[in-house]
Amino acid sequence: MMFKVYLVSSFLLGLLLLAQAHEKHNKIQFYQLKRGNLHLNFTNYGATIVSVIVPDKHGNLADIALGYDSIDSYKNDTVYFGALVGRVANRIGKAQFTLDGKTYKLPANDHGNTLHGGTTGFSDVVWTVKSHKKDSHITFTYDSYDNEQGFPGKLEVSVTYLLIGANKLGVRMIATPVDKATPVNLAQHTYWNLRGHDSGDILSHKVQIFGSQITPVDDLLIPTGELKSVKGTPFDFLEPKEVGSQINDLPGLYDINYVLDPSSPHHLRKVAVVKDDVSGRKLELWSNQPGVQYYTSGMLKDTLGKGGVTYHRYAGIALETQGFPDSVNHPNFPSQIVRPGETYKHFMLYRFTAS
């Protein structure tokens, strides 16, 4: 009898220890990377960039990423501040797609379409911190299960944020299907304001985008399947110009995918340059992806952020390198289907300077 009690007690103790280990493993926390004057903060909720602190032309430090002070705010977030979004970022028309003869239906969380992976995408899950060295890098991992938000197959995902030199941030997103083919399109969704997250709007920021075409959209922001030249339109940022210079000439708002111009083989594409003349700060972005979503937060409205600051319309710029939106329903777009034995790889490189 005593032996049975001992066995039961040992079993219960084991369960308790496993539960405590699981709780510690999935605890939501903030993490930091720091090198010189480049300071970044993250949370494993959504593998999210919380803050990016860099100097201006006078050496004064400021946080240039929109975000929140608390984990609860990130849990209630609806605008994806700083988040890693997926399994499929951006929109999927009519919340469905067909793959290998089977139709998959997804949560319709955006006017009858699927946005950023569904009602509980990768931005709304707790990631595991696999590796963290404060002066070097942090790696988050997440195991997505079969039929999560309607997507087929298990998917092993990781994102590494890596400090490079004194003023560069690398982002490496890797995803590997375990047992079924699946679409994958991960994106980093930070909103930038180079004058400081609390400084007002970004309409005077100068932007250059290295994309000669866009993928036009309908009234619900679903691509029509066309590719259209930007020349002679308000979408033409081939040469630097202020965000607000033609914003009133738009039929809607800046929330559009640019088809990035080709780069030299084996090199990352130059995506965009953003410059604020007041602070002197400049952000440059490179990636290996075919597109970038340019979004100037036209739908942002009275959002309470860090330090009690309220973010209004045009408070930040998002530059989300990506595959094309709704690619799963447009065979002429670059494919996002990844099959077992293949690996999805998405690289980004940011450089922060001031002059």
Residues carrying an active site annotation: 189, 320
Angle at 348 between CA 345 and CA 350, to 5 degrees: 170
**Whether the Cβ atoms of residue 92 and residue 49 lie closer than 8 Å to each other:** no
Within 10 angstroms of residue 44's Cβ, the number of other Cβ atoms is: 23
* Matching residue, tokens 């930091």: 32
DSSP letters along 16-81, please?
HHHHHHHHHHT---EEEEEETTEEEEEETBTTEEEEEEEE-TTS-EEE-B---SSHHHHHT-SS-T
Instruction: List the one residue out of 66, 79, 75, 71 whose CA is nearest residue 311.
Output: 66
Handedness of CA 248, 249, 252, 254 (dihedral sign): negative
Residue 110 DSSP one-character state: B
**Whether the Cβ atoms of residue 111 and residue 117 lie closer than 8 Å to each other:** no
Beta-carbon contacts of residue 139 (< 8 Å; ≥ 6 apart):
129, 130, 131, 132, 158, 159, 160, 161
Hey, which residues does 62 pair with through a beta bridge?
Answer: 54
**Whether the Cβ atoms of residue 283 and residue 348 lie closer than 8 Å to each other:** no
Classified as helix, coil or strand, 4 is: helix
